[in-house]
Each structure stands twice: as structure tokens, then as C-alpha cells.
Amino acid sequence: MDYVERLLAQIEKVSIFCIKFLFVLLLCTQALLLVPGMGSRLNLALRLEGEPLKNEALLSQAESVSSTPWTSITLELLDYQSRPDVEIEINGLEAGSFLRKEVSLAVKEGDLISIFNPVENLPVTVMVSKKTPNIQKPAFQTQVTGTGRRYFAPVKMK
């Protein structure tokens, strides 16, 4: 019994020492970050941010490769504030509806955006109101009007 009590006391002392040591280490690290310029010395990503690429080969490769194949396009409903019955489809799959006047979509190269308006006596006009600069088609302010299924040009990126 005496052995177990001594062991527990020793574990308690070691645990308290570790907690105190980690707390002092945390305070020292936080104090270092208060020194101007120290954050960039401790963090490689901060140090390299804003630096131009030195190698011309890397620069030419970076221009032709997109970091992500997805882009963003925003469609705007012109004649109405809301038409939840009008569906937006990408490659034949439902991607949203016009619960609001504008809808933003994530698209990629070759996607076909279509608008499906099931009500024949209420035609709609939908316009591309915003798009990322790397999208060539559909062009900015391209419109489709009518009922049934209407198609924008397939997404083409630069």
C-alpha cells in the first residue's frame, strides 16, 4: 500500500511539472510572436508570401495550370424576384432553383448549364450576371429567354 501511495505521489509531481513546463513554453512562444517580424521567421508560409517565383520555368507552368478545375458563375433572374419552380441544371442534374433573384454555381470545363421552366405561359429571362475571369463561355451578360428547357453555351475556360 505504501508503494502505491509513493507511486501516485511521484506521478502527481511529474504531471504537475509537465503542466507547468508546457504552460511556460506556451507563454514564451506567445511572447515571441509579439516581437515584430518574428512570426514570419517561425512560419515558412508567411516568409514566402508575396515573393515572386524566381524560376521562369516554374512561372510558365503556373500560368497554364489552374489550382482548381472549378470556377464560379452567377445567374440572375431578370423578370421576377423569385421563381422556385424554375430549375437550374448542370449536365442534366438539378443544381438549384431561383428561390432568390441570383444563384451562384460552381462549374468546370465542359459543363452544360440549362434552365428548365415548366410553366408555358410565364416565360423567364436568365442572364449571366457574374463569372470568374477564367471563363470564356458563356460570356458575361449572356441571356436565355423562354419556357421549357433553355441552354447556355458549354463552359469554356481560358
Confidence of residue 51 (pLDDT cuts 50, 70, 90): low
For 105-147, the DSSP string reads EEEETT--EEEEE--TTS-EEEEEEEE-TTEEESPTT-EEEES
Whole-angstrom distance, CA of residue 21 vs CA of residue 23: 5
Neighbours of 7 (CB within 10 A): 10
pTM greater than the 0.75 cutoff: no
Domain boundaries, the chain: 2-51, 68-157
Whole-angstrom distance, CA of residue 147 vs CA of residue 7: 81
Tens of pLDDT, residue by residue over 76-132, are 888 888 888 888 888 888 888 888 888 888 888 888 888 888 887 888 888 888 888
Quote the distance between the C-alpha of residue 63 and its chain's center.
20
Neighbours of 85 (CB within 10 A): 13
